[in-house]
């Protein structure tokens, strides 16, 4: 028997994820005013907004938004 937690956890682990190309395409659709806003990550678990650092963090040939 699965619990509600197990079901939610499964959905979270198996949800579609975004690539940087996906992000770029979505950003290209935004108006200039929104593109001038601070880049912010929303943590839905904590319901907290966290501004990112001004540069990408690159490690082992991968790029990350850094907070």
Q: Where do the structural domains in the chain lie, given as residue ranges? A: 4-64
pLDDT in tens, 5-32: 888 888 888 888 999 999 999 999 999 9
In angstroms, the CA 54 to CA 66 distance is 8
Non-local CB neighbours of 66 within 8 Å, separated by 6+ positions: 52, 53, 55, 56, 57
**Which one is predicted more confidently, 34 or 16?**
34
Is the CB of residue 57 less than 8 Å from the CB of residue 63?
A: yes
| Confidence at residue 3, expressed as pLDDT on a 0 to 100 scale | 85
Torsion, Cα of 43, 7, 16, 59 (10° steps): 60
In angstroms, the CA 66 to CA 50 distance is 10
pLDDT of 1 over the 70 cut? no
Name the pTM for this structure: 0.67
């Amino acid at each position: 028997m699965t619990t509600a937690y197990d079901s939610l956890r499964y959905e979270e682990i198996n949800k579609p994820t975004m690539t940087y190309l996906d992000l770029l395409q979505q950003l290209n659709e935004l108006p200039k005013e929104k593109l001038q806003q601070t880049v912010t990550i929303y943590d839905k678990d904590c319901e907290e907004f966290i501004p990112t650092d001004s540069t990408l963090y690159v490690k082992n040939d991968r790029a990350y938004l850094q907070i």
